[in-house]
Structure 1
Amino acid sequence: MNTLRASRFPSSPPTLRQVRPTLWRVLRSDGSMAGYIEQATERFEARRMIASTRQVVGVGDFASIDDALSCFR
C-alpha cells in the first residue's frame, strides 16, 4: 500500500508576483520561487525553475494565465 505524504501537496496554491508588464514570478506557499509565466502575444509560457541547478525549463504554452499557473500545482 502506498502512503501519500502531505508535504507533496502544498496547503495553498502558488501565487503570482508581477515582475514586468508581461512577466510574473510564481511563488510557492512557503515563498520560494517555482518558476515564471510570460505572456507572448495571445499565449502564456510557463517555465519551471529547478532549484538544485538554478536552471529554468519550459513547461508549455497556455491559452490563459490561469491554465499556465495550474501546471505549478
Structure 2
Amino acid sequence: MAPATSTERPAAAVASTDTKSAAAQLGHSSEEVTATYYIAKPAQAPDVSDILERLGADRGRRPTRALPNDAQG
C-alpha cells in the first residue's frame, strides 16, 4: 500500500527504522498494524536461475522462426 496523505508519508519513512514511533504518529493500536501496512517488504520471486542459465547457453544458436500463433507473429 502506498502512503497517500501528508501524515502517512513521513510515518512510512519513520516506520522503516522505528515502527513504534510511526505507530504512535499514525494512531495505530499496535506496531503490528504499522508493520503490516507501512513497512516495504522485498518482492520475492521463485528461483529460476537454472532456466536462465539454459537460456544463456542457447544464445549462440540460431533463433527459431515464429509460429503463426505467437504473440509477435
**TM-score for both structures, normalised by structure 2:** 0.24
Instruction: Judging by fraction of residues, say which structure has more strand.
Output: 1
Flag the structure with larger Rg: 2
**TM-score for both structures, normalised by structure 1:** 0.24
